[in-house]
Amino acid sequence: MIAVVAMAALAVAGALSACSSKEPVAVTALTPSASASAEPSVNPVFVKAAKVYRQVLADPAPYLGLDAGVSAQEVTYTLDPLGDASTPRLVLQAMNLGQGQETIGVLRFISVQPEGDDVTVLDADYSVGVASAGGFRGQVARSSQGKGLIYTWWLSGTGEGSVTRITAGATGFTQEQLCEGQVVQVSCLPDGEQGEEISWTDASDTSLLDALESGTWDPTASASPASDQGSVGQGTPLGQGGKLTKDRPAATSPNGDPVYTGTVHMTDYDGVLALQGQQDPNPGSGQYTPGPYALLVLDQPQEVTATNGDGQGTSSRTASMVLLGYAEQASAWSQYDGQRISVSHPAAQTFWPSDTSLPLGEPRLNGAATLLSR
C-alpha cells in the first residue's frame, strides 16, 4: 500500500483573498538527482517514479480526496516536472463529478518521495470544469517556459477569480497567486510566457510511465501550443487552449460606440459548443434552445465594457465573440454567414451573461447592431 503524505494548501475556489507571494509547503526533502538534461538513458529517480505512479494509477481513488459516495467517471493524468527537472510529478484529473448541469472535476498533484514508496499529495482545492451555481469555471494549462502549471478559476457572471502558478522543488510544492479579481480582463503571465494546452492520458494507459522508465520521456510532449483561437469561447485569459492574451482595446465608431470586427457564424446549440471548444454545461438544454445563433467571432480578443448580467453595474472583460442575435433576431444576419464584417453597438445595450447560457461568458448585443462594413 502506498502511504500518502497529505499537505494543507490554500483553497482557491472560494471567496477571493489578497494576493500573496510564493508560499512553499514544507514536506519531506526530496533527494536531488541528475538534471533531466543529462545524457544517461535510464534515470533511477525516473524509474522509481514510474513504479510508484503506476501503483497510484492502478487505484487512484484514495488520492483524489473525494467526498464519500462520490466517484470519478473519467480519470486522466499527465507528467510534469513542475519547474524542477530532477523529479517528474504526477498530475491526476478526475472529471464528471457533478450532477445535472455541472461538468466538474478535480486536480491532484503527486510527487514521489526519495525514500521508500511514499508519495506527497498537494491536497488543494483545485476544481476544473463548469458549474451552474455562480457560473464557476476552472481550468489548468502548462507554462510555455517550463515554469509549472497555471490554474485559473473565475465566475462567468462577474469575471471575478484568480490565477495561480503551481511548481515543485526539493522543499515541496509551491503555490504562487499571480493575480486575482477581474482575471478575464488581464494577462497575468510575464511577457513572452503563455499557457499551453495539456494533453491528458487515460489512467489505464501507462505509456508515459513506460517512457519514463526507458529514458525516452519528453517533458514537453504533453503540451500543445495554443493557437490564435486558443482563447475563443470563455471570456478568460487562458481560454480553452490555455493561451494568455493581452487585452485589445475596442475601436469606436464616429458616434463613440464600440466596434466589433470578425466573422459571422450562423449555427445551432451544438455549433456554439464546437466554436467554444466547450462541453455542454447544460445537458439536455439544446432541445429547448436549438437556435439559430448569430455569432460574430472576433478577429482578435478585445476588451468589452458591458452591463453585468445581474444588473449591478458594469465590468470590462476580454471577449472573443459576441452574440448578435438568437432565434428570430438571428435571421437578419444569415445573409452574412461566413463573411467578415464590422458592427457597432452602444455599450449601454451590451450585457454579460450571469448564467451558463450560450455562448458561455461572452457578451450579448441587445437590439440591432449597426453594420459598418463587410
Q: Is it the case that residue 148 has pLDDT exceeding 90? A: yes
For 168-195, write each residue's pLDDT tens digit.
998 899 999 998 876 655 567 888 888 8
Boundary (domain end) residue, out of 224, 242, 270: 224
Instruction: Judge if 272 and 169 occupy the same domain.
Output: no
Q: What is the pLDDT of residue 9?
A: 38
Instruction: Judge if 312 and 220 occupy the same domain.
Output: no
Most confident listed range (119-128, 202-211, 298-307): 202-211
Instruction: Judge if 203 and 126 occupy the same domain.
Output: yes
Average pLDDT over every residue of 24-37: 42
Q: How confident is the model at residue 301 (pLDDT cuts 50, 70, 90)?
A: confident
Q: Is it the case that residue 33 has pLDDT exceeding 60? A: no
Instruction: Judge if 67 and 132 occupy the same domain.
Output: yes
Tell me if the bond preceding 81 is cis, omega within 30° of 0.
no
Distance of CA 298 to the CA centre of its chain: 20
Q: What is the pLDDT of residue 193?
A: 86
pTM over 0.85: no
Q: Is it the case that residue 117 has pLDDT exceeding 60? A: yes
Instruction: Judge if 266 and 199 occupy the same domain.
Output: no
Q: How confident is the model at residue 256 (pLDDT cuts 50, 70, 90)?
A: confident
Instruction: Judge if 352 and 299 occupy the same domain.
Output: yes
User: What percent of the chain has pLDDT above 90?
Assistant: 36
- For residue 196, with 0-12 CB atoms within 10 Å meaning exposed, 13-18 middle and 19 or more buried, which class applies? buried
Residue 254: how many CA atoms within 13 Å on its side-chain side? 2
In angstroms, the Cα distances linking 320 to 4, 81, 360 are 42, 32, 11
Residue 48: how many CA atoms within 13 Å on its side-chain side? 17
Most confident listed range (2-16, 61-75, 205-219, 248-262): 205-219
**In-domain check, residue 241:** no
**In-domain check, residue 232:** no
Instruction: Judge if 151 and 280 occupy the same domain.
Output: no
Boundary (domain end) residue, out of 172, 189, 224: 224
* Gap between the Cα atoms of 216 and 221, Å rounded: 11
Selected residue with higher pLDDT from 284 and 175: 175
* Gap between the Cα atoms of 173 and 164, Å rounded: 13
In the predicted model, what is the mean pLDDT of the chain? Answer: 77
Instruction: Judge if 173 and 307 occupy the same domain.
Output: no
* Gap between the Cα atoms of 248 and 38, Å rounded: 42
Q: What is the pLDDT of residue 242?
A: 31
Q: What is the pLDDT of residue 272?
A: 92
- Domain span including residue 271: 251-373
Instruction: Judge if 219 and 270 occupy the same domain.
Output: no
Instruction: Judge if 14 and 76 occupy the same domain.
Output: yes
Selected residue with higher pLDDT from 350 and 279: 350
Assign residue 82 a region (left: φ > 0; alpha: ψ between -120 and 50; beta: otherwise).
left
Q: What is the pLDDT of residue 313?
A: 80
State whether residue 190 is helix, strand or coil. coil
Q: How confident is the model at residue 218 (pLDDT cuts 50, 70, 90)?
A: confident
**In-domain check, residue 24:** yes
* Gap between the Cα atoms of 196 and 207, Å rounded: 21
**In-domain check, residue 60:** yes
Q: What is the pLDDT of residue 10?
A: 35
Instruction: Judge if 100 and 151 occupy the same domain.
Output: yes
Q: Is it the case that residue 44 has pLDDT exceeding 50? A: yes
Average pLDDT over every residue of 231-235: 30
In angstroms, the Cα distances linking 104 to 71, 123, 207, 345 are 12, 17, 26, 35
In angstroms, the Cα distances linking 184 to 118, 170, 175, 241 are 39, 33, 20, 14
Per-residue burial over 165-177, b = 16 or more CB atoms within 10 Å of its CB, e = otherwise: bbbbbeebbbbbb
Q: Tell me how many domains the chain contains.
A: 2
For 68-94, write each residue's pLDDT tens digit.
666 667 899 999 999 999 999 999 999
Q: What is the pLDDT of residue 65?
A: 81
Q: Is it the case that residue 302 has pLDDT exceeding 80? A: yes
With cell 494543507, the residue in question is 8
**In-domain check, residue 334:** yes
**In-domain check, residue 363:** yes
For 337-374, write each residue's pLDDT tens digit.
999 999 999 988 899 887 778 998 899 998 888 898 77
* Gap between the Cα atoms of 248 and 251, Å rounded: 9
**Judging by DSSP bridges, how do beta strands 127-130 and 103-112 pair with one another?**
antiparallel
Average pLDDT over every residue of 58-71: 80
**In-domain check, residue 239:** no
**In-domain check, residue 259:** yes
Instruction: Judge if 352 and 207 occupy the same domain.
Output: no
Selected residue with higher pLDDT from 293 and 277: 293
Q: How confident is the model at residue 15 (pLDDT cuts 50, 70, 90)?
A: very low
User: What percent of the chain has pLDDT above 70?
Assistant: 72
Q: What is the pLDDT of residue 79?
A: 97
In angstroms, the Cα distances linking 175 to 124, 159, 197 are 10, 22, 20
Q: Is it the case that residue 248 has pLDDT exceeding 60? A: no
Please give the grid coordinates belonging to residue 119. Answer: 508519495
